[in-house]
Amino acid sequence: MSYIDGFVAAVPRGNKEAYRKHAAGAVSYFKNFGATRQVETWADDVPDGKVTDFKGAVKAQPDEDIVFSWLEYPDKATRDAANKKIMSDPQMKEMGSQMPFDGKRMIFGGFQPINDTGKGMRPAYVDACLIPVPAGGQDAYREWADKFAAVLKESGATRSVDAWGDDVPQGKVTDYQGAVKAKPDETIVFSWVEWPSKEARDKGWEKAQNDPRMKAIKMPFDGQRMIYGGFAPILDQ
Confidence of residue 158 (pLDDT cuts 50, 70, 90): very high
Which of 80-89, 100-109, 168-177, 198-207 has the lowest average pLDDT? 80-89
Q: Which residues sit opposite 186 in a β-bridge?
A: 134
Mean pLDDT of the residues in the chain: 96
Confidence of residue 119 (pLDDT cuts 50, 70, 90): confident
Q: Compute how many other C-beta atoms are within 10 angstroms of the C-beta atom of residue 63.
A: 11
- Residue 161: the pLDDT is 97
Closest CA to 4 of 163, 198, 125, 234: 163
Whether the per-residue pLDDT at 104 is higher than 90: the answer is yes
Give me the mean pLDDT over the 195-202 stretch: 98
Biggest alpha carbon–alpha carbon distance for the chain: 54
What size, in residues, is the chain? Answer: 237
Distance CA 148, CA 185 (A): 24
Distance CA 80, CA 84 (A): 6
Look up the domain containing 162 and give its range: 3-236
The pLDDT tens digits for 20-66 are 999 999 999 999 999 999 999 999 999 999 999 999 999 999 999 99
Give me the mean pLDDT over the 195-200 stretch: 98
- Residue 215: the pLDDT is 82
Whether the per-residue pLDDT at 1 is higher than 80: the answer is no
Whether the per-residue pLDDT at 97 is higher than 90: the answer is no
Distance CA 105, CA 65 (A): 13
Distance CA 232, CA 127 (A): 9
Instruction: Indicate yes or no: pTM above 0.85.
Output: yes
| Type of residue at 121 | M
> What residues contact residue 126 under an 8 Å CB cut-off, 6+ apart?
39, 41, 68, 192, 193, 194, 195, 230, 231, 232, 233
Output the CA angle 195-22-159, nearest 5 degrees.
15
Whether the per-residue pLDDT at 199 is higher than 90: the answer is yes
- Residue 221: the pLDDT is 98
- Residue 121: the pLDDT is 76
**What is the CATH classification number for the domain harbouring 18?**
3.30.70.100
Q: Which residues sit opposite 227 in a β-bridge?
A: 130
Overall domain count for the chain: 1
